[in-house]
Structure 1
């Protein structure tokens, strides 16, 4: 009896230790597109060579690699430092789900923090971590060696995510124009030329084969790790998974930066965007005056 107790105690101890030391590492490729027509005449007047040059410059902002380090209850999501461009730390606040900095989630304690630098100032952003209202589907597909299930979620658009911005009334079809004018319930006017939707549908593909309720960026809440995500004009795809890597990473909440809520941070970004837009208008006005 004593020997049986010792064996059972050893099994429980080993299982507890294995769960405590469990860690995974997932690599994600993030790719976003933007509606260049929202640039209006400035883009249309560019030559084909200038447009190609612009596309090359934008690529470093629109295509990135991220690493999600996770255990059973917490995770850290950040850009792959090996592949980050020298200017990757600037202007990241414009990127929304694909932004830089460090995103920390603890699904047990419902803590979500993001450490980010914007225009030389560091912020520590706290988010309300409410369980996402995913709609689970029966559709499946295989990503690598994992069977994944489809789930969808309707969410509010991040007002600082400029990839979702589009030119107002850009369609030349008069009937569609009239319909678009009537249906403004899901549109936010940014300026006389630019708008963005209020809400978008997010599609996720998760695998129960990795039973952690986690995923890239701020996404979580499914019965398995999210391997693919489509949100607005951004697609995030997992390209590699390493379970229990040799080199473990300390998954700790970031602490540096001015503490703000997500709403407070968005107001700061919006104000800065308005200032820059006004500065650009003034410069363009002075140039026209000289001509």
Structure 2
């Protein structure tokens, strides 16, 4: 058994996000296109034989036991420890270390991606042999975005974002800006002015229509409530069509040329944290694990 793995936890973008209804339990029905991009946090998972789960690099503002990485590891540990019968079997532990590059609460899926990397990495480190389907089912208990990172492929998603169909998207260069503000997802989804009745479209129409069919239904409310996001959206729109990812705060524009993307990013970087990323259809995490 290998004693340690260092693995990426990549970001995602919502190329579109339509809200098509609201369920009785308060959750919203969505239609979205997830695309993995090539900017990542880096996680190191190191085997322990004492059964403990320890995050060696605390994340500011998040209690150790509340961190999604710790919760993911403990969930997998409990699940695997009782899978063989009523008598729990002893499970190994792990020390988790993260090099954090993705902003928290930015709409890039950083926390969900971290949890997915822990589930996939510990599945291999602990030699559990669980399928991606089984891991995705566990991941859904942690967050609706976790399964897309487990499967590691661009996807059309419905439901609350958990009903996934793998798709192949174009792979442009993205300029991603973080407007240095944290957006409250519950606040956006509770806003009475939020569009909740977009007409559902088929996956085929979404893919065939491309950008002409794509928008983010959260964007108008986020712009209204967060002027710093509106300012960044308006600035980036000078150079290319721009869109919010998730409920933000991050926003992005697409470019065919890496050189053009880097030129725009250099200008944006004078005002905001900015990344240039390439769109992917397969996650670098799956590549690293040989999935």
Q: TM-score, normalised by structure 1?
A: 0.26
Q: Which has the higher contact order (CA 8 A, sep 6+)?
A: 2
Q: Specify which structure has the higher proportion of strand.
A: 1
Q: TM-score, normalised by structure 2?
A: 0.26
Greater radius of gyration (CA) = 1
